[in-house]
Structure 1
């Protein structure tokens, strides 16, 4: 059974690029090309129309794609079922969006260690697009990330479920005169302290401002809420903070929340995982259950209390 060839073919169909497929596997481009050719030889048919750039699936290729996905999914399910009664062991590689509360994540990691002491965790932070790609490339087993509410997955082909919600709120220094309910156009005239690209919240904000013909004036790009909120308190600019994380920063720095009419900044908290994790899936389930409990309470996706 040509499992490697089928995985390369499915990934090529999803990315539309031999170069991207090679980078994500990782293989050389020529190795990917040889795998596709071997699969075509084995099946006795042409899967790609190479007369166009980039190559596209032939009718036989479209049918083969669905069957390859079904075979790979069935093999993954078989592995999971045969390992269901065994205790997970080994390494769980998982990523978390940088904006998520560290305390909640730490509690979920501790729960895995308590329930499955043979599992070693490797935890990384990052942005949604980067984390999804790392799972797709099999460099991470799973990731928890923020995506704009209702937006499609940055990387298709992964198992994905929504486990909570978050709302970003706009804040400024309480000791400075700021409009209580600024318009989108007025927000475009203000300086901003924001996370660097590819932050999904920043993209969503830019789209909302653009709808009013406004653009963002970046005063500072800063990674991390501690420094962001300190700069906001110093009057460098206004910024965004996850609603559930606002209160301690509002108290510490004297921040106030700005009410923005008709400007939703709501996000889904999504768990994505690779298709074939075997028994380590049980450890991911523990993290999912712990985080879902923490993030689907009355505050989920809604505003947090703030000073000012």
Structure 2
């Protein structure tokens, strides 16, 4: 059993056809069939139900496909990471979600640039979920997002729990404009404006999970593309919107920001790096990010 046979097996399993897989792999179908047969003999179990159309996997084949994908993914991550470490790094790419720029991230980036003056620091906006593939492929070296990832190839760490605020129109009903913190139960029936509508999961899901954590669910949700549109709808009296506290610096004369009472009403700022990436640069940047966010 070798990596080539694993790649051949995955190709056949994914297209559900020996013929199409052979064309995709640019090898003769009899040779491909022989490789798969040898793999099954080595495992002492059939991987395909050959009389089915399209070609189906046995239960053992389903399990083996999952493990093969993981093995090949780890191999690719290892290759990309080894190339990064083995070369004199002249550039360093930071992936980030747009909302993180309202937090301490700009200070983190400025500090990194001051300390790594001989390295070109590049910034690339991307949502948190896209950071998984970008880290594994080496497209980015570190990512800052709003969701804690659960992927064996990525180490995801919460740097800071940012309080959430409720954005309301200036002339809001008495319940929302009275002094003090607003309880989530008091706005569960309100028209709640969420952003972004896509891709998901996103900050919109962070807000929904905050309600879920206290046993609530908003009754009326409206999804919008981005923050400015959401705030515009709030100003127009179309509903209320929950935002990170750092967004309050976006001063608008027609919107008020109110604190939320529940301690669960917070959004994480998350740092994502490749699993087992202990390179000196990554370790130092992690230290910088921790120090700056801990002082928030």
TM-score normalised to structure 1 length: 0.62
Structure 2 partner of 1:217: 221
Q: Is the 8 A contact 1:143 1:271 kept in 2?
A: yes
Shift of 1:277: 6.3
Shift of 1:76: 5.9
Shift of 1:276: 7.5
User: Deviations for 1:86-127, whole angstroms, at most 9, x for unmatched residues?
Assistant: 9x5322222112211357333333333333233223312232
State the secondary structure of the residue aligned to 1:106: helix
The equivalences for 1:20-59 within 5 A come to: 30-31=24-25, 45-46=42-43, 49-51=47-49, 52=57, 55-57=61-63
Q: Cα RMSD over matched residues?
A: 4.9
Distance in 2, Cα, partners of 1:73 & 1:166? 34
Distance in 2, Cα, partners of 1:103 & 1:208? 20
Higher-RCO chain (CA-CA 8 Å, sequence separation at least 6): 1
Distance in 2, Cα, partners of 1:128 & 1:93? 15
Distance in 1, Cα, partners of 2:80 & 2:225? 44
Give the count of matched residue pairs: 265
Distance in 2, Cα, partners of 1:105 & 1:95? 11
- Specify whether residues 18 and 108 from structure 1 end up closer, same or farther in structure 2 by C-alpha distance, changes over 3 A only: farther
State the secondary structure of the residue aligned to 2:100: coil
State the secondary structure of the residue aligned to 1:288: helix
- Specify whether residues 189 and 161 from structure 1 end up closer, same or farther in structure 2 by C-alpha distance, changes over 3 A only: closer
- Specify whether residues 204 and 106 from structure 1 end up closer, same or farther in structure 2 by C-alpha distance, changes over 3 A only: closer
- Specify whether residues 216 and 283 from structure 1 end up closer, same or farther in structure 2 by C-alpha distance, changes over 3 A only: farther
Residue 238 (structure 1) aligned with residue 240 (structure 2): yes
Unaligned runs of 5+ in 2: 16-21, 50-56, 177-181
Structure 2 partner of 1:290: 288
Q: Is the 8 A contact 2:104 2:293 kept in 1?
A: no
Distance in 1, Cα, partners of 2:267 & 2:37? 42
Unaligned runs of 5+ in 1: 20-27, 300-308
Structure 2 partner of 1:192: 193
Shift of 1:161: 2.8
1:171 alignment partner, one of 153, 159, 167 = 167
Shift of 1:239: 0.9
Distance in 2, Cα, partners of 1:277 & 1:183? 40
Shift of 1:39: 11
Shift of 1:213: 5.4
- Specify whether residues 172 and 139 from structure 1 end up closer, same or farther in structure 2 by C-alpha distance, changes over 3 A only: same
Distance in 1, Cα, partners of 2:23 & 2:208? 36
Higher-Rg member (1/2) = 2
Distance in 2, Cα, partners of 1:187 & 1:76? 46
Q: Is the 8 A contact 2:90 2:119 kept in 1?
A: yes
Structure 2 partner of 1:106: 106
Distance in 2, Cα, partners of 1:40 & 1:111? 57
Distance in 2, Cα, partners of 1:3 & 1:107? 45
Q: Is the 8 A contact 1:195 1:223 kept in 2?
A: yes
Distance in 2, Cα, partners of 1:48 & 1:112? 54
- Specify whether residues 232 and 145 from structure 1 end up closer, same or farther in structure 2 by C-alpha distance, changes over 3 A only: same
State the secondary structure of the residue aligned to 1:179: helix
Q: Is the 8 A contact 2:155 2:275 kept in 1?
A: yes
User: Deviations for 1:26-53, whole angstroms, at most 9, x for unmatched residues?
Assistant: xx9955x999x989979x9449944536
